[in-house]
Amino acid sequence: MLKQGTSCPGNVSLGHRGLCVTAAGTVMHGKLEGGKRVVKGMRSFEEIPHTGRNGWLNLLKFWRENRFQQLHKHMERTFNTLGPIYREKLGTLSSVNIMLPSDVSELFKSEGLHPQRMTLQPWATHREIRNHSKGIFLKNGEEWRADRLQLNKEVMMSAAVKRFLPLLDEVAKDFCQMLQTRMEKEGRGEKGKCVLTIDPSPDLFRFALEASCHVLYGERIGLFSSSPSLESQKFIWAVERMLTTTPPLLYLPPRLLLRMGAPLWTQHATAWDHIFSHAEARIQRGYQRLSTSLDRASPAGTAGSQYTGVLGQLMEKGQLSLDLIKANITELMAGGVDTTAVPLQFALFELGRNPEVQESVRQQVRVSWAQAGGDPHKALQGAPLLKGTIKEVLRLYPVGITVQRYPVRDIVLQNYHIPAGTLVQACIYPMGRSEKVFEDPLRFDPSRWSREEGQRVEAAGFRSLAFGFGARQCVGRRIAESEMQLFLMHILLSFHLSVPSSEDLNTTVTLILQPETPPRITFSKL
């Protein structure tokens, strides 16, 4: 049994004798010097393997070799070459990169009460020069925590999820109906046996925007009609442009580019301006609806017993100022389209090229849906393979390829000293495909997650990190998970999926991981 004693930075203390266990599992002797634990055998920060000490030369090499678009592959190759931890410096940005769940677990223990991740400075600069309030994505400290706790009540708590699930369920059903209508018009084969082979990505982006608007604003915007609005299509284009222009701006001073009138900065700022104007129009309509609802003295949280969306809930409760509500709703909108539409592309592809997996998930979904009596919450609870499918898709194709933290105290990772305040990145693309972490890692197997729950797996809570971890995990996680699971549920109840080509997809990184060419999917009516 462990005795109580003085703990080592980032280690587990084993009593007063000064024994420490590092994240790598090595037991070392240590002593106190000047109030700090000095661990024998621990290596210095400077000894961490690195990719080159000159950040500007490294950045130039990245530009020349087009590595930004293949950053996930660069990380995977570097871990294979240097081991499970390395340092990298690119322009003004320095980081320590890790990939093992045990090390991520150690990092989590040191994130503190107000966890910090890497600030997307281009986004922050845009808010500052346009005099927009910042949402929680760009905040830190107590200000972040106070706002986050209010948002959690409306987007993360189980009661909130139950309120918005029917809205997502409605959109998913309507998408399948739209696809069925399109199949009858454009499909091949006899009536009732039609098949339709398409690139579904434009439709998936419309689905994600329709679903996000329904949950956030409490209104449908009609994107499944034969002629969706140009305004909404421009919003999708703006989000894509914002994501594409963000990565290069992370390594250069945005205000310098602003003064220079650099086209890259202009494109980025213009994209954000359009995102804000789209959100502002929706928020104004929501505010008007809420005012009308309150004039009629509807019960709190409803408009004639109708859920008013996250926006309406926040406005009614009045715990956040209108400016802060606008800032956070806009961030949720901007972060809620590509980040669900793209994983759904990968999900349809993997289910299509793994027919046995597809059928096992479908059988479970059918039973659960029949027993749920139309209740989407019960239906999802009874189909754990749906959740496993999403986790498996995000293991192989994580939306964001890293999760970052700045430890609030010194820690030890892989027997190296990491000073407090160092940017540490958990690289989840290499983790998800590593034989050191997953058995047969390239096999698409949603059932692996159910099996793991019955086993004692080291650092089990840090093997699925697509939504981050701890208090600073993705605030839109519950919306995204529910949206994707309900979408796949209704697709599998309505259609059989196959793919013209089962070749592995080539992927690229903007700010998120996506296929270089969207996969074509064949839908067949069941």
As annotated, the binding site includes 474
Total residue count of the chain as it appears in this document: 526
Name the residue among 329, 225, 228 with its Cα closest to residue 276. Answer: 329
Helix (H, G, I), strand (E, B) or coil at 251: coil
Between the alpha carbon of residue 32 and those of residues 11, 418, 428, the distances in Å are: 14, 18, 35
Contact present, 311 and 283 (Cβ < 8 Å): yes
Distance CA 259, CA 257 (A): 5
Distance CA 464, CA 432 (A): 8
Contact present, 257 and 268 (Cβ < 8 Å): no
Distance CA 328, CA 324 (A): 6
Binding site residues for heme, as ranges?
A: 474
Distance CA 301, CA 294 (A): 10
Q: At what angle do helices 158-186 and 201-217 cross, to 10 degrees?
A: 150
Name the residue among 130, 263, 159 with its Cα closest to residue 138. Answer: 130
Distance CA 256, CA 91 (A): 14
Between the alpha carbon of residue 18 and those of residues 3, 13, 37, 52, 166, the distances in Å are: 11, 7, 9, 35, 56
Structure tokens at 197: 């082979």
Contact present, 113 and 122 (Cβ < 8 Å): no
